[in-house]
Structure 1
Amino acid sequence: MLKKTSFPIAKIHVPVKRIKTLDQEKVLEIAESILENGQTTPIRVRKDGERFILIEGFHRLEALRSLGEESIVGYLVGARLH
């Protein structure tokens, strides 16, 4: 079972192909929701040396970043073996 953990936003790397999918309007909506209700859905990251690679939750990450937050709640998952 995955355990919720707090991750420093500055140490989360977003893959380039994910950055291209950024929808600023969606980030704004999520930021407003976070202000009202807090972060309700954790992101998912995997460890890569000293940093973390974002797997899921790009818009949540950007919403919290836009609000000036320094950490985000998420799950640390293992890399999938193919």
Structure 2
Amino acid sequence: MRANPSARPEQSQQSVTPTTTLIKLRRVLEKTGLSRTAVYTEPSFPRSIKITSRAVAWIEQEVDDWIAARIAASRSANETE
């Protein structure tokens, strides 16, 4: 079942800074441990950015923030058990 892209949370309208890093799918998969399918269908996962007509990338900080949120959610769930 394909997730509704409009159900994804809005990404902040962040400005590009010298420290903004775009990462390709291979690095996203390495950082998260998710499958390619999960990266594209997980509603809470950051959206990709089209960088050319055939290539996409993700803002590394958004991926890192998503990972941190998963860790925090896991830790708080463990505390309530």
TM-score, normalising length: structure 1: 0.29
RCO higher in structure (CA 8 A, sep ≥6)? 1
Higher strand residue share: 1
Structure ranking higher in helix proportion = 2
Rg comparison, structure with higher value? 2
TM-score, scaled relative to structure 2:
0.29
